Chain A
Amino acid sequence: MSSVGPLFQYLLRLGDNCLIMGQRLSEWCGHGPALEEDLALTNVALDLIGQARMWLSYAGEVEGAGRNEDQLAFLRDAGDFRNVLLVEQPNGNFAETVARQFFFDTWHYFLLRDLLRSANSRIAEVAEKSIKEVTYHVRRSADWVVRLGDGTRESHAKMQVAVDTLWSYTGELFASDSVDEALQEQGVSFALTGLREPWFAHVRSVLDEATLTFPAEAWMQRGGKQGVHTEHLGYMLAQMQFLQRAYPGAQW
């Protein structure tokens, strides 16, 4: 796997972030706090899974080993997934889902905004299709953070705990490795550290509006992009991949 070029690795990261985030959100289906919110959550999930399909099918073409988007999604083991740790964290309560989504959406938006001017025209194309949906996601999740943070005493407390708990997974979003650097040299992607400033500014202003405390600097988890995941991913894949593993090649 690691012998394949950095572009393939990079596309897996983009695709896996969307796929795992989408799968996590789809777990809310039928459990949303209100019917309307249930639909909204699953809409976002569907948006992300649609984006994952575009990234992963391109990844399959780049790899050139005959794997399509489905095989990449359903027949890889946890160690071969390249998503950041943030997106695989369990849904927890609604505040935790909102905090995770808010951190991810904000980062996702700034990332796609950079990728619009990628030297790789296919990546720029997918980014352009995705950013319309993600613009809505960012608005939605920021709005929830404000509503819950500046809501009742209980919702405020839960939202603060959620922000603090997930904070240690945000450092990985801006950490580059050799794959990132190789693509940055070709102008395919851009310095992740460049996303830090707009991300911090937006997160800070939303947390301020939500009367929440901005977390102090802390030790940051990392490893997802290199395939070292938290234990949550394995359980999640077991459920997601069960059908294709038990009945290989089964069609809808």
Chain B
Amino acid sequence: MLRNKQRVKLRRWLEWWRTCNLPSMFALTGRQILGATLLTSTEWPLWEIFIRSQHGLAHKHVGSLHAPDAEMAMRNARDVYTRRNEGTSIWAVKSSDITASSPGEKDSLFEPANSKIYRHPTFYEVPEEIKHI
């Protein structure tokens, strides 16, 4: 149950929303939003999308999306992430296929490297012409 204060806030917001008088194409009802969310979250698996922006660069994680299979994940990636000339290549990977390090292991995984300065290539000068390092 909403508390009184929240309820007043919600009503004010709804009233404001109605005064906006938006054309019907923008007037989403709560149920439609919920429907869309449920459909995507319970039926379609999640995919992580990687895009290579230029030749010579590595693929970079740009975000995720829902799709029923690999082919559609690719198509959706094109529509969601590459419509402004962003990419030359797309990778789509099922999110469930990614093994991620746990935040709790942060110290044991990454701390030792930081404490040994000789491991860091900070004693070399990188020529200016060399990019993407």
Interface residues of A (CB under 8 A from B): 26-27, 29-40, 43, 136, 140, 143, 239
B40 adjacent to A26 (CB under 8 Å)? no
Per the bound structure, the CA–CA distance linking A239 and B24 in Å amounts to 10
* Contact of A34 with B40 in the complex, beta carbons under 8 Å: yes
Query: A40 CA to B75 CA in the complex, in Å?
Result: 9
Chain B's closest residue to A242 (CB) is B23
CB pair A31 B76 closer than 8 Å: no
Report the nearest B residue to A40, measured CB to CB.
Answer: B79
Contact indicator B79/A43 (Cβ below 8 Å) = yes
* Interface contact B79-A27, CB-CB below 8 Å: no
Task: Please choose the segment from B6-14, B25-33, B102-110, B111-119 that sits at the chain A interface, where 4 or more of its residues have CB less than 8 A away.
Answer: B25-33
Q: Which 7 A-B pairs rank lowest in CB-CB distance, beginning with the nearest? A: A36-B76, A40-B79, A34-B40, A43-B79, A30-B28, A39-B79, A36-B65
A32 to B28, CA, bound (A): 11
Which secondary structure dominates chain A's binding surface?
helix
Whole-angstrom CA separation of A32 from B39 in the bound complex: 11
Give CA–CA (A36, B44) in the complex, Å. 11
Interface residues on B, range: 20 to 34
Q: Which residues of A contact B5 (CB under 8 A)?
A: none
B83 within 8 A of A: yes
User: Complex formed: what's the CA distance from A143 to B76 in Å?
Assistant: 13
A30 to B26 Cα, complex, angstroms: 6
Q: Does the CB pair B25–A40 fall under 8 Å?
A: no
Sample of 6 further A-B pairs with CB below 8 A, known A34-B44, A35-B66: A33-B36, A36-B65, A36-B67, A39-B76, A40-B75, A43-B83
Q: Are A35 and B36 in contact (CB under 8 A)?
A: yes
User: A188–B72 Cα gap in the complex (Å)?
Assistant: 38
Which residues 18-58 of B have a CB within 8 angstroms of A? 23, 25-26, 28, 32, 36, 39-40, 44
Does any Cβ of A come within 8 Å of B62's Cβ? Answer: no
Residues of A within 8 A of B40 (CB): 34-36
